[in-house]
Amino acid sequence: MTQTTTKELVLENNRLIPEIFGPQDLNLKLIEKKFNVRITTRENQIKIRGAPDKVEQVDRLLHQLQSLTEGDPNLKNGDIKFAIRLAVDEPDVDLKSIFSERIAVSSERGFISAKGTTQRMLICGVRANDILMAIGPAGTGKTYLAVALAVEGLLKHKYRKIILVRPAVEAGEKLGYLPGDMMEKVNPYLMPLYDALNEMLGVRKVRELIQEGIIEIAPLAYMRGRTLNDSFIILDEAQNSTRQQMKMFLTRLGFRSKMVVTGDITQVDLPNERDSGLVHAHSLLQDISGIQFVYFSEKDVVRHDLVKQIIKAYDSNGADPEPQS
């Protein structure tokens, strides 16, 4: 027979209870489901019943949520849901230290907070190093956070330009068959970068900054021969750069600049995976001071819960969903 225990606690600040409980107590119901406990409430009194270890985890989580909401009146319900998910994945997580690592992107958008230990490592790593390489699956926030840090640096006048770069290779597509010039061919593949910028700065402001050359979006091949000073440079989908392209890109780093390289080394679209510049850099540059690697996994996915499950299913199956020719 499974041992159960009951613990009672009191949340001291009644004003914060609606934010912690969520609309119609949905956050408490989520906690019940994730930790397999039973929660009953009466005003600010909470009774938790379940396995002793789970009861202690929920008790710690609720106290941390109270501390979080006291420290940040603008904490959104979505942030609390992420906090609950984090507490499930990492029972010893310090939620306050993670959510306190924030990126200021605009007065309208406010702050973007880390959504997990790995995201916090990325933010701290970019601030402490001139080059950071973030490796992991889609949906983990690698590119989004890099763009946010670039925007923050631009607004604080740390950089004169944001330069967003992607290789002109995408899942077997042949650019030559697409209409338009090279920029028109590549622009559709840059949409994740545009989406992040538009969310943080607004469509009109982004358009103005692009027209003024303050934000530059370009294919990787266009970086050859340049020295990039006073810039925040992001190379997205870097697994599809070749070894020669990666060397060319990294050696563009100028004074007072930062580079963030993002990619998923399990999703290489080059004819030969061993030619991937990100795979090669991963093995070659580990011991260089000033370059930091941060690794994401499916547990770091911050999209819909189903995305995490889909990635896990494909990884465990080991099959490529695309037929090989």
Residue 192 structure tokens: 């994740």
CA neighbor of 19 nearest in space, from 47, 55, 44? 44
pTM as predicted: 0.82
Q: Which residue has the higher pLDDT, 172 or 197?
A: 197
- Quick one: average pLDDT of 35-50? 90
Query: Residue holding tokens 């899942």?
Result: 171
- How many Cβ atoms from other residues are within 10 Å of residue 176's Cβ? 6
Beta strands in 154-303 (DSSP E): 161-166, 215-219, 231-235, 258-263, 291-295
Q: Could you say which DSSP state residue 299 is in?
A: G
Q: How confident is the model at residue 323 (pLDDT cuts 50, 70, 90)?
A: very low
Residue 271 structure tokens: 């004819």
pLDDT at 2: 66
Strand, helix or coil at 198? helix
Q: What residues contact 279, with CB distance under 8 A and at least 6 apart?
A: 239, 265, 268, 273
Would you say how long the chain is, in residues? 325
The string of pLDDT tens digits covering residues 137-188 is: 988 999 999 999 999 999 999 999 999 998 876 544 455 555 555 556 666 6
CA distance 145 to 125: 12
The string of pLDDT tens digits covering residues 88-127 is: 888 888 998 888 888 988 767 678 888 889 999 999 999 9
The partner residues of 110 in beta bridges, in order of sequence, read 106
Query: Residue holding tokens 């490529």?
Result: 320
CA neighbor of 158 nearest in space, from 18, 256, 33, 293? 256
The string of pLDDT tens digits covering residues 228-255 is: 999 999 999 999 999 999 999 999 999 9
Identity at 297, one-letter amino acid code = S
Query: Residue holding tokens 């690697």?
Result: 293
pLDDT at 320: 56
For the ranges 18-27, 82-91, 104-113, 285-294, the maximum mean pLDDT occurs at 285-294
- Quick one: average pLDDT of 294-313? 80
CA neighbor of 6 nearest in space, from 60, 65, 46, 66? 46
CA distance 129 to 8: 46
pLDDT at 1: 54
Query: Residue holding tokens 């080394």?
Result: 265
**Cα angle, residue 226 at apex, residues 225 and 231 outer, rounded to 5°:** 160
Q: How far is CA 90 from CA 68, 95, 294, in A?
A: 17, 10, 18
| Contacts for 185-194: CB closer than 8 Å, 24+ residues apart | 186/218, 186/219, 187/217, 189/237, 190/164, 190/166, 190/217, 192/143, 192/236, 193/143, 193/147, 193/164, 193/166, 193/217, 193/234, 193/236
- Quick one: average pLDDT of 34-63? 91
CA neighbor of 102 nearest in space, from 92, 91, 90, 110? 110
pLDDT at 187: 67
Q: Could you say which DSSP state residue 138 is in?
A: T
CA distance 200 to 92: 32
pLDDT at 173: 45
Alpha helical stretches, state H, 107-164? 117-128, 142-155
Identity at 252, one-letter amino acid code = R
